[in-house]
Amino acid sequence: MEAEEITSMNGKHTKLHPVLESLRKTPVAQAIRTTPVFQSVRTTSALVAGAALVGTIAATTAHASTTTPQDLKPQAAVAGAAHAEGALPETRQEAPQHAAAQQQAPQAAPAAPQAANEAPKAPAQPAPRKPTAAQAIKIATSQAGISEDGAGKTKFQQWYMGTERARQTIARDGGSLGLYADAEWCDMFVSWVGHQVGFAGSVGSDAWTVAHAKWFQQQKRWGTAAKPGAIVFFAWNGSKSIDAIQHVGMVIKDNGNGTVKTVEGNTDGGKVEVKTRPSSTIVGYGYPQYSG
């Protein structure tokens, strides 16, 4: 189609550009051409500007006339889909981070097995039961008949020499351990019985009868009543002074007639014997804390 000629104010005819020519024939452009404004533009030197205006209006009109709400919906959908597709990779990138955090979490768990590796606590040991007086008497009387050898020695002296208590009493009394080998052993016998029954801490342990009696006094376990298992101290001259004590044994029973049945070491020429002693020769008694 040939371009329409336009007559300018100087009388010359000018052809429009083919693009403008096609826009000029659109229904919108035809309607604009009938307006007074457009007619005046044809007759003035603003022809070119008017043509540009027409072109702009026509382009805008053409775009508006060819765009529908249906056309916009796919565009919005595409934009939304694009946005959604753009978000998915971010989620995929973050997911491994959460997985890594879950993998790192068990690192704190090894602290728990430490408690499992701890050695179980040993149950509390019950306190040892105290022996009875009858048990002590049985051990003591079982030694009846044992006597010194030709050198004046017995197993009771040998036992005492090997104890820590012997070193303590030597430090207290002076001398040497060797002196106990053939020393008077009545108190070593009583100490041995206490050790055998597992009650040395309550029977006491010594080689000197006076010191042993004073120990009972200090423990507030000293008295004048004959009780089975009590440690009995003698003074042959009838003195009631502890410093006068010369001999020691263990009470078996109070005969109730002014005599006491005892078991003693280093008596009757160096033997262990069961004896009956008059109460007049007894200074006093020490009381081990037996069971019952």
Please give the pLDDT value at position 113: 52
Assess if residue 237 is contained within a domain.
yes
Please give the pLDDT value at position 35: 60
Assess if residue 75 is contained within a domain.
no
Assess if residue 239 is contained within a domain.
yes
Are 29 and 166 found together in one domain? Answer: no
Please give the pLDDT value at position 279: 98
Q: Which residue has the tokens 């008017």?
A: 50
What CATH number did the domain enclosing 233 receive? 3.90.1720.10
Please give the pLDDT value at position 172: 97
CA dist., res. 20 & res. 259, Å (int): 156
Assess if residue 84 is contained within a domain.
no
Identify which of 169, 173, 143 has the alpha carbon closest to the alpha carbon of residue 156. 143
Contact between 262 and 249 (Cβ < 8 Å) = yes
**DSSP codes joined into one string, 171-232:** HHH-S-GGGGGGS--HHHHHHHHHHHTT-HHHH---S-HHHHHHHHHHTT-EES---TT-EE
Assess if residue 107 is contained within a domain.
no
Are 21 and 155 found together in one domain? Answer: no
Regions of the chain short of the pLDDT cut 70: 1-120, 122-123, 125-127
Say what the pTM is: 0.59
Please give the pLDDT value at position 131: 95
Residue 256: domain span: 133-286
CA dist., res. 47 & res. 69, Å (int): 36
Are 137 and 280 found together in one domain? Answer: yes
Name the pairing type of β-strands 282-286 and 222-223: antiparallel
CA dist., res. 184 & res. 267, Å (int): 10
Please give the pLDDT value at position 31: 62
Which H or E element spans position 143? none
Q: Which residue has the tokens 């052993």?
A: 185
Assess if residue 188 is contained within a domain.
yes
Query: In the numeric block, which tokens belong to residue 48?
Result: 């070119």
User: pLDDT tens, 89-106?
Assistant: 343 444 444 444 445 544
Dihedrals φ, ψ of 265, to 5°? Answer: -105, 160
Assess if residue 118 is contained within a domain.
no
Q: Which residue has the tokens 């879950």?
A: 102
Assess if residue 207 is contained within a domain.
yes
Please give the pLDDT value at position 252: 99
Please give the pLDDT value at position 16: 54
Are 180 and 258 found together in one domain? Answer: yes
User: pLDDT tens, 162-172?
Assistant: 999 999 999 99
Identify which of 265, 279, 264 has the alpha carbon closest to the alpha carbon of residue 225. 279
**Of 27, 45, 66, which residue is a domain's last?**
66
Identify which of 197, 230, 48 has the alpha carbon closest to the alpha carbon of residue 131. 197
DSSP 160: H
Which residues, at least 6 apart from 218, have a Cβ–Cβ distance to it below 8 Å? Answer: none
**Of 66, 98, 119, which residue is a domain's last?**
66
- How many structural domains is the chain composed of? 2
Which residues, at least 6 apart from 4, have a Cβ–Cβ distance to it below 8 Å? Answer: 15, 16, 21, 24
Are 143 and 62 found together in one domain? Answer: no
Please give the pLDDT value at position 292: 77
Contact between 286 and 216 (Cβ < 8 Å) = yes
Are 154 and 234 found together in one domain? Answer: yes
**Of 66, 96, 114, which residue is a domain's last?**
66
Please give the pLDDT value at position 5: 47
